[in-house]
């Protein structure tokens, strides 16, 4: 299976979400899956302008000249998509939000049959409304796109107890990767 791993934390390799996704990916690679790691933060991705040219041109492509084409090609090539993000103001990081907005236009077939998996970390417990809102939003989005939203993974108190020191979170992440 071809896995696309998109990292979107401004804290980079020191982030909790990056650490947990890397833990998952290492287990997946042990099972023979190939992983394309894509750090979204350094990419030049501009916001969607809502021009809808992508809905009408033959290529079904965005006319904005930036690095989004790198992401679009990686999505097209993947069987399984992981997204890692910290919780920022009740939603995903700004970088991931830009990518999601730019991924909306057709052809939706680029998502059909794929599985999306969110790795998200924040200070609140997983049952907190901010996490519930993201889970509900992604579930609805994936249903619309014909994509399965299989998991939703959170770790509470990443600053009080970083993911790197959270044995339960590490074991859960390893189990997710081993199950792929």
**What percent of the chain clears pLDDT 70, i.e. is strictly above it?**
96
Instruction: Provide the residue ranges of all domains of the chain, joining segments of one domain with +.
Output: 2-178
Tell me the average pLDDT across 170-178: 96
Instruction: Count Cβ atoms below 10 Å from residue 165 Cβ, excluding itself.
Output: 10
Asked whether the CA dihedral 132, 93, 123, 171 is positive or negative, the reply is: positive
The CATH architecture annotation of domain 2-178 reads: 3-Layer(aba) Sandwich (3.40)
Q: Are 173 and 121 in contact (CB under 8 A)?
A: no
pLDDT digits (tens, 9 = 90+) for 123-168: 877 777 888 888 899 999 899 888 999 888 888 666 778 899 989 8
pLDDT digits (tens, 9 = 90+) for 29-70: 999 999 999 999 999 999 999 998 888 877 777 889 999 999
Predicted TM-score (pTM) above 0.85: yes
R_g (Cα) of the chain, nearest Å: 16
Q: Is 56 exposed, middle or buried (0-12, 13-18, 19+ CB in 10 A)?
A: exposed
Per DSSP bridges, beta strands 2-7 and 80-86 are parallel
pLDDT digits (tens, 9 = 90+) for 66-109: 999 999 999 989 999 999 999 888 889 999 999 999 887 766 67
């Amino acid at each position: 299976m071809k896995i696309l791993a998109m990292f979107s934390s401004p804290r980079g390799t020191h982030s909790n979400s990056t650490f947990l996704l890397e833990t998952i990916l290492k287990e997946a690679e042990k099972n023979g899956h190939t992983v394309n790691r894509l750090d979204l933060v350094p990419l030049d991705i501009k916001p969607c302008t809502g021009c809808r040219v992508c809905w009408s041109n033959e290529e079904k492509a965005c006319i904005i000249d930036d690095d989004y084409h790198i992401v679009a090609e990686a999505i097209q090539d993947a069987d399984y998509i992981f997204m890692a993000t910290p919780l920022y103001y009740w939603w995903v990081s700004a970088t991931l939000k830009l990518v999601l907005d730019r991924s909306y236009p057709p052809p939706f077939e680029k998502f059909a049959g794929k599985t999306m998996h969110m790795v998200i970390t924040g200070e609140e417990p997983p049952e907190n409304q901010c996490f519930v809102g993201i889970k509900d939003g992604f579930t609805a989005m994936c249903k619309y796109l014909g994509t399965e939203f299989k998991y939703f993974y959170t770790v509470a108190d990443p600053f009080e107890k970083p993911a790197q020191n959270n044995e339960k979170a590490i074991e859960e992440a390893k189990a997710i990767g081993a199950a792929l």
